[in-house]
């Protein structure tokens, strides 16, 4: 999952991949440089729902 954030740091869109986020930016005519993309996945929670980092399951 990727998140598209505006210049104020507000999450505007989350998508499965880069193509989804770029399609959103194009749809709303967001200028390049007016947004940033960041991963929303956290490897520390990869053990499933309710998993806590550092706590064995």
Q: Could you report the per-residue pLDDT of 14-48, keeping only the tens digit for each? A: 999 999 999 999 999 999 999 999 999 875 444 44
As beta bridge partners, residue 38 has 3
Q: Taking the model in full, what pTM does it have?
A: 0.69
Confidence class for position 57, pLDDT limits 50, 70, 90: very low
């Amino acid at each position: 999952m990727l998140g598209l954030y505006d210049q104020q740091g507000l999450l505007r869109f989350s998508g499965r991949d880069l193509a989804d986020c770029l399609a959103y930016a194009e749809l709303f005519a967001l200028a390049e440089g007016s947004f940033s993309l960041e991963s929303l996945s956290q490897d520390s929670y990869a053990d499933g729902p309710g998993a806590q980092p550092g706590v064995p399951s």
